[in-house]
């Protein structure tokens, strides 16, 4: 916990007083805690309580600081965000993307891990709306420390009591350890489509957006790695804090990959490389003649296969875009390209290529298999790196 920066959100439930006790523990363990309270939380505990414990300013509104956008700064500087207690109302607002106060705006702008510690009356917790909202947030990457059964403020026994401090500290420790896991490591990632020109205005390409590789690069950088992202043509913005090498064709990607993956601790090939290029490229626009046109295609180099041939001690992960017999084909690629692991992607339907949700399964060795579930690409990037880091530790 020493030196960790923790963004602590406090919303308006009676368990808010426990946030004060936790703050004291965190400060004693060397964490730097920035507290953001909702106005309802202020009815249970005062900002002065937290300001005294942290010896830092406490934030309660989007408007009461001279800074124009304090929510962005606060959440960007932190290593992890914890909301304790998370009320049913706050959970509903987060699930709907509402950002009408400093806390919800900061959480919506967060790229750091977010942990919710819900606490509320049992009936509210068991309500279908709360359950659905929590499921939505989990699928978007939020972690939850589920409440326990115990004595509730209504003088009833039930589920809804804030998780004990030990469980909350464990969740924080786990997340912080994950954030440091790639410190000092070099990570190389290929991403996006390639474009193979036929003439100055036409090219052969595919629907890849580069989102998977971009999210992996962002997540690896957040975990402390120095990251090189070799990125094909895409409108998506590469993440900050990452070295970006722009490429257009498969052979440019090949050259970049051989240079940047050499000596990398971890290489991940997410690029949807065009397997062929037009054998001839015309320097001027090809005119139509009304006749059918036959274009000869020449094979492109297989970037990942070459990285596999040259593989040293670095860990090599490929992706397999498949429309059928997914895992069987992916295992063949795992072996043929000498990979340490391969992530299987179903590209038969709408999933896979766009920035939206995706489903991934990670395969390694003869039988190693882990489902990473269906989630947005930011969440899947974090789950994939969790799994890969585990394999790297064991290899």
> Which residues are catalytic, by number?
206
The interface region with ligand CTP, picked from 39-47, 95-103, 317-325, 360-368 by CB under 6 A, is 317-325
The interface region with ligand CTP, picked from 52-60, 234-242, 315-323, 353-361 by CB under 6 A, is 315-323
Exactly one of 319, 340, 372, 384 binds ligand CTP (CB under 6 A); which one? 319
The interface region with ligand CTP, picked from 130-138, 166-174, 302-310, 364-372 by CB under 6 A, is 302-310
Closer by beta carbon to ligand CTP, 104 or else 300: 300
Q: Does 333 bind ligand CTP (CB under 6 A)?
A: yes
Tell the smallest beta-carbon distance from residue 20 to ligand CTP (Å). Answer: 49
Closer by beta carbon to ligand CTP, 12 or else 238: 238
List of E strands, the chain: 5-10, 32-37, 58-59, 80-86, 114-118, 143-144, 148-151, 157-161, 186-191, 196-199, 202-204, 226-231, 243-246, 266-269, 276-278, 297-299, 315-322, 341-346, 357-364, 368-376
Q: Does 229 bind ligand CTP (CB under 6 A)?
A: no
Report whether the peptide linkage leading into residue 85 is cis, meaning its omega lies within 30 degrees of zero.
yes
**Are 211 and 239 spatial neighbours (Cβ–Cβ below 8 Å)?**
no
Closer by beta carbon to ligand CTP, 40 or else 306: 306
**Are 376 and 357 spatial neighbours (Cβ–Cβ below 8 Å)?**
yes
The CA distance from 179 to 159, in Å, is 31
Instruction: Name which of 2, 6, 47, 9 is nearest 28 in CA terms.
Output: 2
Closer by beta carbon to ligand CTP, 53 or else 247: 247
Strand order in the sheet with 58-59: 58-59, 32-37, 5-10, 80-86, 114-118, 143-144
Tell the smallest beta-carbon distance from residue 3 to ligand CTP (Å). Answer: 37
The interface region with ligand CTP, picked from 107-115, 142-150, 284-292, 296-304 by CB under 6 A, is 296-304
Exactly one of 320, 382, 384, 388 binds ligand CTP (CB under 6 A); which one? 320
The interface region with ligand CTP, picked from 43-51, 265-273, 356-364, 367-375 by CB under 6 A, is 265-273
Q: 387: part of which helix (H) or strand (E)?
A: helix 377-394
Q: Does 250 bind ligand CTP (CB under 6 A)?
A: yes
Q: Does 260 bind ligand CTP (CB under 6 A)?
A: no
Residues 266-295 that bind ligand CTP (CB under 6 A): 269, 271, 273, 275
Tell the smallest beta-carbon distance from residue 385 to ligand CTP (Å). Answer: 16
φ and ψ of 289, to 5 deg: -125, 0
Counted residue by residue, the chain has a size of 395
Contacts of 226 (CB under 8 A, 6+ apart): 185, 186, 187, 243
Closer by beta carbon to ligand CTP, 317 or else 375: 317
Tell the smallest beta-carbon distance from residue 328 to ligand CTP (Å). Answer: 12
The helix/strand count (H/E) of the chain reads as 13, 20
Residue with tokens 């005294």: 52
Residues 161-200 that bind ligand CTP (CB under 6 A): 190
Q: Does 321 bind ligand CTP (CB under 6 A)?
A: yes
Q: Does 302 bind ligand CTP (CB under 6 A)?
A: yes
Q: Does 44 bind ligand CTP (CB under 6 A)?
A: no
DSSP secondary structure, 49-113, as one string = HHHHHHSS-EE--SSSSSSS-HHHHHHHH-SEEEEEEE-HHHHHHHHHT---SHHHHHHHT--S-
Q: Does 381 bind ligand CTP (CB under 6 A)?
A: no
Residues that bind ligand CTP (CB under 6 A): 190, 250, 269, 271, 273, 275, 300, 302-304, 318-321, 333
């Amino acid at each position: 916990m020493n030196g960790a920066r923790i963004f602590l959100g406090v919303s308006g439930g009676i368990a808010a007083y426990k946030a004060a006790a936790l703050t004291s523990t965190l400060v004693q363990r060397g964490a730097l805690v920035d507290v953001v309270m909702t106005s309802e939380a202020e009815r249970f505990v005062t900002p002065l309580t937290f300001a005294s414990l942290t010896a830092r300013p406490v934030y309660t509104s989007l408007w009461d600081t001279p800074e124009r956008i304090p929510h962005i700064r606060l959440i960007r500087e932190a290593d992890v965000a914890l909301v304790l207690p998370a009320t049913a109302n706050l959970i509903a607002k987060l699930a709907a993307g509402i950002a009408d106060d400093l806390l919800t705006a900061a959480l919506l702008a967060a790229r750091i891990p977010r942990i919710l510690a819900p606490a509320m009356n049992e009936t509210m917790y068991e309500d279908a709306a709360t359950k659905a909202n929590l499921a939505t947030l989990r699928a978007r990457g939020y972690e939850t420390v589920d409440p326990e059964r115990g004595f509730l403020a209504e003088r009833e026994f039930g589920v809804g009591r804030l998780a004990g401090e030990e469980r909350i500290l464990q969740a924080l420790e786990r997340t912080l350890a994950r954030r440091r896991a790639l410190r000092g490591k070099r990570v190389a990632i290929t991403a996006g489509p390639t474009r193979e020109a036929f003439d100055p205005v036409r090219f052969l390409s595919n629907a890849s957006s580069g989102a998977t590789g971009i999210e992996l690069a962002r997540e690896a950088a957040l975990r402390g790695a120095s990251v090189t992202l070799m990125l094909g043509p895409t409108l998506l913005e590469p993440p900050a804090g990452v070295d970006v090498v722009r490429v257009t064709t498969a052979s440019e990607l090949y050259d970049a990959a051989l240079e940047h993956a050499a000596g990398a601790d971890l290489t991940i090939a997410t690029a949807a490389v065009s397997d062929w290029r037009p054998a001839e490229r015309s320097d001027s626009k090809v005119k139509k003649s009304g006749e059918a046109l036959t274009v000869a295609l020449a094979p492109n180099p297989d970037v990942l296969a070459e990285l596999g041939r040259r593989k040293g001690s670095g860990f090599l992960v490929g992706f397999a875009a498949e429309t059928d017999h997914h895992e069987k084909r992916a295992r063949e690629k795992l072996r043929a390209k000498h990979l340490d692991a391969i992530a299987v992607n179903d590209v038969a339907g709408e999933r896979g290529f766009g920035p939206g949700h995706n489903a991934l399964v990670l395969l390694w060795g003869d039988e190693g298999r882990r489902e990473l579930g269906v989630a947005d690409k930011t969440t899947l990037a974090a789950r994939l790196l969790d799994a890969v880091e585990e394999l790297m530790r064991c290899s």
